[in-house]
Amino acid sequence: MNRTGKPETFKPVVMKKLIFFLLMTVLLYMPLEWMNADVRLPSVIGNHMVLQQKSNVQLWGWCSPGEKINVTASWDTVHYTTMGSRGADWMLTIATPSAGGPFTITIKGQNTIVLEDVMVGEVWVCSGQSNMEMSAGWGLNPPFNEVPDESNKNIRLFYVSKATADCPQDNSDGKWTTCTVDDMRRFSAIGYYFAKRLTKELNVPVGVINSNWGGTPAEVWTPRDKVVNNPTLNSTAGKYDLTNWWPVDPGVTYNAMIYPITRFAIAGVLWYQGESNVGTWSTYQALLTTMIGSWRSAWHKDFPFYYVQIAPYAGYGQENVCALQREVQTRLMEVLHSGMVVISDLVDNVNDIHPKDKIDVANRLANWALAETYGVKGLAYKSPQFRRMNIDKGKIRLSFDNAPNGLMSKGGDPKEFQIAGEDRIFIPAQARIEGNTILVWSKQVKNPVAVRFGFSNASIPNVFNMEGLPVNLFRTDNWDVPTLPVKK
């Protein structure tokens, strides 16, 4: 009672202080795990995944700040622990054994996640545009009609959904699946057949991450700052027409479809792209060199980068741009740990930008990987490359690398050779194979100085090494090449 004889009441300020005190008391004595958020994982870490063998691989995700995370894997008895950062994420590194499985990985925080059917083997990323994206639904040749057998359980597929972003993303949409008929038939045909070959030859599980988008120029797969801060690359990037079918802004697919997986340990990258950059061929070497370096920096690994040279195609609208682009792609092999597959002989229709034979393309990529990455001996995987020329009595003799057993032509005499004198006018030439050299001449050119081979948009040459790999296009000159609009 107060002095007036009326009951005492609490003032509002006193009441607020009391409520605050009670709340703090409850929080102080509340079990810590009640305050923790569930541990979460990015999509690329999940059931059925393949982890790179004999490596220190990262696992990561999100949790409450300060939350203790425990990780164990069924292949050993090691316990890994870490704490959630103040940014509410976590990451740790675990050691993987030699190839095998299936294994489980248990991740404990407030909640427990058990990853099932985890394999350890080899992981490759397949990226680029439509020729890498092509699956069974595109009408491939030979028909994509096989049914996965038991060995295909060692092939695991991860399809990154198409997306763009203005800044690097922490996660992408996708999930790992064991290779089934349905998944195989919607997945990259090159990626599937590459994995099938590696699984067979190495007897290890193979995981393939499919991240591609038809029609995209290489700028969208390159970090934006690497493009815009380079005046030449930035100027080129501004030349692409806007379209409703694919993005053209620098970095947007890298941010959404490559960056989210750069913590995931891989063996290497397969790349099939370049058709959308033929109009800007002069900067493609610098662009791809920049892109490869950026990816390797993001992965913290100088992984092998094996790529497909674009195929002959008659529909580019400008003379010689396809040949010039393929020439630039050849020079890209100057990049360390890179290799190029030549497919000028795998074209069924020069008016179709999508050659249907993906099995042979995949096998040629696999041969590069088997030989260079995995040390398998006795494989023929390098196409013959022009090395030097000698002029002798009105004829030019050409010498080649990667033709140890000699050269051959299919379907008649060697074709697609041109020869020129000091006037720089190229005319069709005769050619004769002599061992691993080719003699080229024309009665119309008495004093020849230069030769070109297969150097046009739609040229399909017929010269191979004895192992059956096509001779890559080349020219012995460094003269200007006309790129006028094609006359219709």
Type and span of the H or E element at 128:
strand 112-128
pLDDT tens readout for residues 74-113: 999 999 999 999 999 999 999 999 999 999 999 999 999 9
Measured CA to CA, the distance from residue 89 to residue 66 in angstroms comes to: 9
pLDDT for 184 equals: 86
pLDDT for 28 equals: 44
Q: How far, in Å, are 168, 227, 252 from residue 249 at the CA level? A: 14, 10, 6
Report helix, strand or coil for 218.
helix
pLDDT at 145 over 80: no
User: Average pLDDT for residues 417-428, to the nearest whole number?
Assistant: 98
Type and span of the H or E element at 407:
strand 407-409
pLDDT at 36 over 80: no
The single residue listed with the structure tokens 């003379």 is 319
Region for residue 117 given its phi and psi (left: phi exceeds 0; alpha: psi -120 to 50; beta: otherwise): left
Least confident of 18-22, 44-48, 146-150, 346-350: 18-22
pLDDT for 143 equals: 57
pLDDT tens readout for residues 366-417: 999 999 999 999 999 999 999 999 998 999 999 999 999 999 999 999 999 9
Judge contact between 314 and 458, C-beta under 8 A: yes
pLDDT for 144 equals: 59
Residue 420 burial (10 A CB sphere; 0-12, 13-18, 19+): buried
pLDDT for 86 equals: 97
* Residue-averaged pLDDT of the chain: 92
pLDDT at 42 over 50: yes
pLDDT tens readout for residues 55-71: 999 999 999 999 999 99
pLDDT tens readout for residues 433-487: 999 999 999 999 999 999 999 999 999 999 999 999 999 999 999 999 999 999 8
pLDDT at 128 over 60: yes
What DSSP state is assigned to residue 160?
P
pLDDT at 26 over 90: no
pLDDT for 37 equals: 77
pLDDT for 375 equals: 98
pLDDT tens readout for residues 165-224: 999 999 999 999 999 888 888 899 999 999 999 999 999 999 999 999 999 999 999 999
The beta strands (E) that lie in 188-342 are given as: 206-212, 268-272, 305-308, 338-341
pLDDT for 140 equals: 73
The single residue listed with the structure tokens 């099995």 is 359
195 closest CA partner among 148, 131, 136, 254: 148
Measured CA to CA, the distance from residue 437 to residue 202 in angstroms comes to: 36
Query: Could you please report the per-residue DSSP string of 9-44?
Result: ---HHHHHHHHHHHHHHHHHHS-GGGGPPPPB--TT
Measured CA to CA, the distance from residue 381 to residue 360 in angstroms comes to: 12
pLDDT for 148 equals: 66
Which domains, from first to last, does the chain contain? 50-119 (2.60.40), 120-373 (3.40.50.1110), 385-475 (no CATH)
Residue 458 burial (10 A CB sphere; 0-12, 13-18, 19+): middle
pLDDT at 10 over 70: no
User: Average pLDDT for residues 328-338, to the nearest whole number?
Assistant: 97
Judge contact between 147 and 287, C-beta under 8 A: no
Q: How far apart are the first and last CA of the chain?
A: 105
Tokens at 412, concatenated: 């008649």
Tokens at 479, concatenated: 């003269």
pLDDT tens readout for residues 456-466: 999 999 999 99
Residue 393 burial (10 A CB sphere; 0-12, 13-18, 19+): exposed
